[in-house]
A and B are shown apart, each in its own frame.
Chain A
């Protein structure tokens, strides 16, 4: 069994640093260059691009940030709206530009007229009616029959 020989740090030869493996050769020649490369881009971009921001006071910077955020929201809102094209042509001319095939297709699909559609029609021209029907008043009365009670009120 070994006897304990107390180790005393003061008796141990003192080294300026622990005996660790040295860094690679030329390391301390390259290190300043590597560090300068790391700080240079930051320094350049900061001073040229954003350096002026650091010169602004804090309230101004806050106001600027709010304005930028608001501007961003406004732009996003504007861009999200569907583009509304306001026609410059009168309705009849605009309708004339629609191809017949498209009109026929529209009418084939939307062939049921609503009361509102009828209300928007211009008042019938008596002559036009007579032209289309080609019938005398007596013939029309005979065809339609006597008016009902409800119809008499209108």
Chain B
């Protein structure tokens, strides 16, 4: 079902639940994996995905269609992730790097990465990036978003996003190179 059709149905109180259910089914996997890449842990990703859709339900009536529904939902999910990571740091008085180290430890323990050393190093390098730079990297590298779409999601200018992605790639390449030569 097209986004426009979902939005039209959502305005009708009798069809609202059906429309929302279709919206969830359409975007749940994208939202889940977007969140999962940021927080790594499945349970955290599950909570944040649900919270994202609850917020979508609460605010969909006010959604102005100057952005696409897809980027609007991504924006909510992104804010949820960044708030979660920030509150985690605040709660445990952790410096910036410690959450990255915690996430990296989860990557280390992931059985899917056993035997894939370069892939493991790449994932650890991504998790060492600051949250916002990691977000930019994920949106470009994995979700293959255009810079314009990314600007809608992050509320950042296209120029700043290009610079951020470029720096993220350089940092990742440097980390993986150094880790590989240390082995």
Contacts and interface: CB of A to CB of B under 8 A. Distances in A.
Interface in A1-57: 2-9, 12, 14-21, 23-24, 27-28, 31-32, 34-36, 38-40, 42-43
24 contacts: A2-B180, A2-B181, A4-B180, A6-B173, A6-B177, A9-B141, A12-B118, A12-B122, A19-B119, A20-B40, A20-B110, A21-B42, A21-B111, A21-B112, A23-B32, A23-B45, A23-B46, A24-B42, A28-B29, A32-B21, A32-B25, A35-B24, A36-B24, A43-B16
Given A18-B123, A20-B110, A5 B173 contact: no
Given A9-B172, A36-B17, A31 B126 contact: no
A14 B21 CA distance: 32
A7 B177 contact: yes
Contact of B42 (A12, A14, A16, A23): A23
Contacts of A14: 141
A4 B53 CA distance: 46
Interface residues of B, number: 45
Of residues A4, A16, A32, which shows the largest number of chain B Cβ atoms within 10 Å of its Cβ?
A: A32
Given A31-B24, A31-B28, A31-B49, A15 B181 contact: no
B109 to A, nearest CB: 10
Which 3 A-B residue pairs are closest in the complex by CB-CB distance?
Answer: A7-B176, A39-B57, A4-B181
> Interface size class for chain A?
20 to 34
Contacts, number: 95
Contacts of A42: 54, 57-58
Interface of A: 2-9, 12, 14-21, 23-24, 27-28, 31-32, 34-36, 38-40, 42-43
B37 interface: yes
B159 to A, nearest CB: 21
A13 B62 CA distance: 41
B142 A28 contact: no
A2 B28 contact: no
A2 B183 contact: yes
A75 to B, nearest CB: 34
A16 B111 CA distance: 19
